Structure 1
Amino acid sequence: MHTDNTQQASSPSRRQFSANTELRSPLRYPGGKRQLVPFFVDLLKLNDQTPLDLFVEPFAGGGAVSLHLLEAGLIERTVLADLDPLVYAFWHQACFKTEQLVADIATADVTLEEWHKLRANPGKTLREKAYACLFLNRTSYSGILQGRAGPIGGQRQQSKYKIDCRFYKEEIIHRLRQIGRLATEGRIAAVRRTDVHTTVRWVEENYSQSRRLYYFDPPFWEKGERLYRKAFRRPQHERLAKLLINLQAPWVLSYDYHDEIIDLYRASTDANGRTPGGLVPAGTPRLHTTDLTYCNRHEKRGATELIITNLNNVPHDYINRT
């Protein structure tokens, strides 16, 4: 049984901080989709959806796409949901208890001892969990919260990259206050700890008259259990596919490229029918691929990403093949 906690809005840094107009997430998220921001910017413009009434991320994670689109004025509001209790707590506090989280980050003792303490016990309250989420995310390898990831710099801290090398307090606090401002303005419409099916059902019940777009970024098919605290197994991937193929509202889905994922959606790729409003008929999503680059301290590596959508019009500058 999922807890449905809906909330609706009404030490010095090691590098020079400079505010800019782009709002980036405070979270470093494995598989984060900030690289897809230009795709979504052009997607909304191509489909004459700016400003869009509502953008929904049922797998919020780092929320990079929503934050950019909000700050750029391309969407009016967003709904963020995540089933991971730490990630949900972060978004709840960042949006609705911003200064509490700011105070916790400002006084954080960024040490290996604190990392071990929070890894063993992230706390019980939303405030404690939010702090643990952000602390562990900024101090763990690749931002991974899942238990197998170690601290940046290793247990002996012998690397030139120490545990605090990505903990830029001034910048993190600036980003948190930007998020708090958006929530205060009512532009982050809700933060929910619900699974994808409950989130979609809630949005359809409450925002069916709004022009809306869902962005689904579920756990990776491969290595999901190594990256996420709330990973998917095959039945969950299959259930998600069934949900999306029957969803009438516009949606975009991104996945790691894998034959099994393609097989879940391939049966519908040959359909040529179109419907009013720029959507393909229910059950006929389009499959595309794009290239992303993932970085860690050792290397940059390219990856092919699946982009699946029920929109007819996609910006082909970002697409390899359909």
Structure 2
Amino acid sequence: MSAPSFTATTTADEVARAFTEQIRGKNVLITGTSLNGIGFETARVLAKDANLVIITGHNSERLKLTEETIKKDVPGANIRPLVLDLSSLAAVRKAATEVNAYAEPLHVLIHNAAAGVGPFALTVDNLEKQMATDHVGPFLLTKLIAPKLLAAHTAAYTPRVVVVSSAGHALCTGIDLSTVAHPDPEKYIQSDAYCKAKCANILFASELSKRAGGKIKAYSLHPGAIFTNLNSSVEAKQGLADFGFLTADFQPTDKLAWKTQPQGAATTVAAAFDPRLEDKPGSYLFDCVAANDQIAPHASDSATAAKLWTITEQIIGETFTF
């Protein structure tokens, strides 16, 4: 079979069909799988061939809706719901304990969940909500369930961690490392906070791949511009309007090439299973292919990545080693 070729309009289903053999029998955990989001679509297409798909969310009723909807579409799907609130370190620890009690190893961890754009808010751990939900929580979860990922490592297979970032990372000047552990409302701009969190995603994936030394391979990606439940709030719409992506009355402008949800989930599936990425750990994907030239300089600086890693370890009070 010739190598599949993907474009901006490729759907998650099309990517999954191309990599059916790679998906078959795998156990995958996906964060942020509510209906009307790309995490849901990712879970739905993978459920057709994966051995187990673990879906997460902080609302158990919405999780149940996701599970029922996937099983209606894929009757034989093995879906396991996991309550997870990434904005709380205690909640992340509780969820990780549950995952570590599972009998199965974990082949792929997909960090899809993100906080919606909004005004300055502190979490229960006194962290800024965007950075906590998009970076610190996922960092801690990865650290705590790394043994499950390492248990899936064989001579023929290397487990993967996929982090959904955004091309929006380039719209800021980079992370202010001084505010990661000590948020400053005076410096907070809501659209800027989203971009900084997306920078953290890219820095985390590249540094994770580096430190894992081949035991785990991590990738970050831009899913495309998709209108999901994440950006349906007035605050999120205003943030998009501030960038010129929506008009004053919140209608799409031609500054972005909008994707459907099936198209928006495609790059996540590629990052999780495309074997052509094996020799490209730490890569950033755009339209289903590695595109490191699309990373802004402030999100590709190795010194910043190392400093962010250390700061995050200090926040969670644990050292992340392999």
Question: Which bracket does the TM-score occupy, shorter chain normalised?
Answer: 0.3 to 0.5
With the length of structure 1 as denominator, give the TM-score of the two structures. Answer: 0.43
